[in-house]
Amino acid sequence: MKDVLTWIGTLPVLAQIPVIVGLFLAAAAILVLLIEVAPRPGRRYTIIRFIASLAIPGIVFLLLGSVWWAIAAAVVVGGILFLLDYRSKQGQGYLFALIAFLGPAFALLIIGLIYPTISTLWGSLLSNRGAFIGFDNYVWIFTQPQNWVVIRNTIIWVLVVPVLSTVIGLAYAVFIDRSRGEKFFKILVFLPMAISFVGASVIWRFVYDYRPAERDQIGLWNGILTGLGLDPVNFLQQVPLNSFLLMIVLILVQTGFAMVVLSAAIKGVPTEQLEAAALDGTNGWQRFWNVIVPGIRNSLIVVLTTISIASLKVFDIVRTMGTAYPDTGVIANEMVTLLQKFEAGRSSAFAVILFLLVLPIVIYNARQIQKQREIR
């Protein structure tokens, strides 16, 4: 695989495009063959399945750089797969199609999640030189005052940003629902979603910009202050105000996401329920709290958990705006900073802590989805 990527990198830029497209089309054709063609009954398709069963494990290990392991995998793994499929109670081709469907997903799961997780866990127990030191990196994290500031800031981000983004997005969705100019108002709120975090951070850095000379202000807020005859303020140097000013950027970006999802959910609330509540003499607030909110509960959970995970992993905004300012660090930014200082063990320990913070949110979301499936 490394040799193939190196070879592609040596090609001219214009030649790389058709090669990459060709490889993608070849992979798509192979998937179609495995999923649609191979499971069909008949001697011809049995031969196709036999060849694919031997070839796929062999090619995988060959790309990993081991010829002998490729041969062994082709014979052992491929042979077992073919025999199990050939004797499957559901018929020939059933097991083959099942593995063809799930195989890429499992491969991506192992490569993109399981292996990095295990590698990070092990790395957090090593020193910067690769020696095993146990939990010393975690002891260092929890005994340094500046690290507690980083953890505290991360927790504040995940408490403030999801709640404010969801509340503002929900309020906006309710107030403009079925109003004149609804599409235009939604576009205005959704526009920040089209801007990257780095781009939004640069824009807001100009909003907060501070210049010592009173008449030389390019920042919007300080321009207003000096225009009113007041002294300029270095907003991003004010602790803990600076952290909340950074949160505003993520709140504005995520509000558009919350508004779109919740607006669609509100439109899905049956009109009959709202009309029945109105006939019962309820006011607008009672209909909102007793009819709309229960009707969009699942969407609220999805929005809150999604924004919570984004808040825990926030990096771009802090890196772009807050690196030079006091007490604005978060775990994701500290991980990169330590890694750039060649302190891989401590960086991995921070990554494990971030993983543990994200895990309860993911588990809760998965349980809610499971409950919803059981209800259906």
pLDDT, tens digit only, all 376 positions of the chain = 566 667 777 877 777 888 888 888 877 777 776 666 666 666 766 777 777 777 777 776 776 666 776 777 777 777 777 777 666 666 666 666 677 667 777 878 888 888 888 999 999 999 888 889 989 999 999 999 989 999 999 999 999 999 999 999 998 888 887 677 778 888 888 888 888 888 888 888 888 888 886 667 888 888 888 888 888 888 888 888 888 999 999 998 899 899 989 988 888 888 888 888 888 888 878 888 888 888 888 889 889 999 998 898 888 888 888 666 788 889 988 998 898 888 999 999 999 999 888 888 888 877 877 777 666 5
User: Is the bond leading into 240 cis (omega within 30 degrees of zero)?
Assistant: yes
The vertex-59 CA angle with 53 and 65, nearest 5°, equals 145
Backbone φ, ψ for residue 12 (5° rounding): -60, 155
Backbone φ, ψ for residue 126 (5° rounding): -110, 155
Contact 309, 361 (CB under 8 A): yes
Q: Give the domains, in start order, of the chain with CATH numbers.
A: 2-123 (no CATH), 138-195+243-375 (1.10.3720.10)
Cα–Cα distance measured from residue 130 to residue 245, given in angstroms and rounded to the nearest whole number: 39
What is the token pair recorded at 287? Answer: 């209909």
Cα–Cα distance measured from residue 125 to residue 286, given in angstroms and rounded to the nearest whole number: 54
Cα–Cα distance measured from residue 17 to residue 24, given in angstroms and rounded to the nearest whole number: 11
Cα–Cα distance measured from residue 376 to residue 372, given in angstroms and rounded to the nearest whole number: 6
Amino acid at residue number 178: R
Backbone φ, ψ for residue 41 (5° rounding): -75, 155
Cα–Cα distance measured from residue 223 to residue 208, given in angstroms and rounded to the nearest whole number: 10
Backbone φ, ψ for residue 132 (5° rounding): -75, 125
Number of CB atoms found within 10 A of residue 376's CB: 5
